[in-house]
Amino acid sequence: MSWSVIFYPGNPERRERLIRKSQELRELMKNNFRATNQLIEALKEHLGLSFRPVALNEKATVKENCDVIIERIHEIQAEVEKIDQKMKAKLEPTLYEKLKKMSLSVPDYQLLSGSVGAVCGVAGSAAVIAVGWLIKNEKILTTMRSTFGLIKTTALAAVVVGVLFMGIDMIISAILGGIERDQLERALEEYDRALEEFRPASEKYQDSITYVRMRLEMGQ
């Protein structure tokens, strides 16, 4: 008898829901990795910052993949903090607040270009846009990092990413490798709650990176 029949007897709807949510997790992770690499490329092109790209490893567990992207976002945030502190010290308070809110006039861009060049070694409106986005959206990076941290503590943390598309029996079997059978129901409920947070955070993260990439293209 299969695991799906044991845990969800006569309830194919719940079985299908677990499959869909597992596949959704993989797609969200895949898109977040892609968005992070797009951000890394933009930061290198417009600010001269170098970070190693991230890759979703289908043979690694959900937790291992989460650790990879959490580390990279943390590295980006550490650089943002340095830039933020230097810009705050260098700029007149009103201009710094304008940069932080990205409410800049054409003269503001001209004033900021020299300051950004002194701090980052790259001047121009695109560099100003990139710095402004980083400072303004630091919270989005923090949220993305924390939700990945939440996902890596769920029931699916020990599941190999490639298994998420292999059907419910494989998924449940992998989960049961790390917990007792009678804990499965509660563990899956916790996963559901984590996914409810991860979904909107991922969408906001991806949309924000798409937006700044469009602004950078227009600002060149």
Residue 154 has what pLDDT? 83
- Report the greatest alpha carbon distance in the chain: 72
* pLDDT score recorded for residue 29: 95
Q: Is 115 helix (H, G, I), strand (E, B) or coil?
A: helix
Q: Which is more confidently placed, 74 or 185?
A: 74
Contacts of 200 (CB under 8 A, 6+ apart): none
pLDDT at residue 204 is higher than 60: yes
* Contact status, residue 138 vs residue 80, Cβ threshold 8 Å: yes
Q: Quick check: 158 pLDDT over 60? A: yes
Per-domain residue ranges of the chain: 8-218
Q: Which of 194, 206, 219 is nearest to 31 (CA)?
A: 206
- Give the percent of the chain with pLDDT over 90: 53
Number of neighbouring beta carbons within 10 Å of residue 88: 14
| Confidence at residue 43, expressed as pLDDT on a 0 to 100 scale | 94
**Residues 81-105: tens digit of each pLDDT:** 999 999 999 999 999 999 998 898 9
Confidence of residue 175 (pLDDT cuts 50, 70, 90): low
Q: Inform me whether the pLDDT recorded for 8 exceeds 60.
A: no
Query: Which whole number is the average pLDDT over 136-148?
Result: 94
User: Residue 133: pLDDT above 90?
Assistant: yes
CA distances for 28 relative to 24, 104, 170, angstroms: 6, 33, 20
3-state secondary structure of 61: strand
pLDDT in tens, 20-64: 778 888 899 999 999 999 999 999 999 999 999 999 999 999 999
> How far is the first Cα of the chain from the last one, in angstroms, to the nearest whole number?
61
Token digits of residue 88: 């705050």
pLDDT value at position 31?
A: 97
Res 152 pLDDT > 80: yes
- Please say if the pLDDT value at position 171 is more than 70: no
> Which position has the token pair 């977040």?
32
* Nearest of 161, 185, 213, 202 to residue 22 by alpha carbon: 161
* H-assigned helices in 49-157: 62-90, 93-101, 106-120, 125-136, 138-151
**Helix or strand run (H / E) with residue 209:** helix 184-219
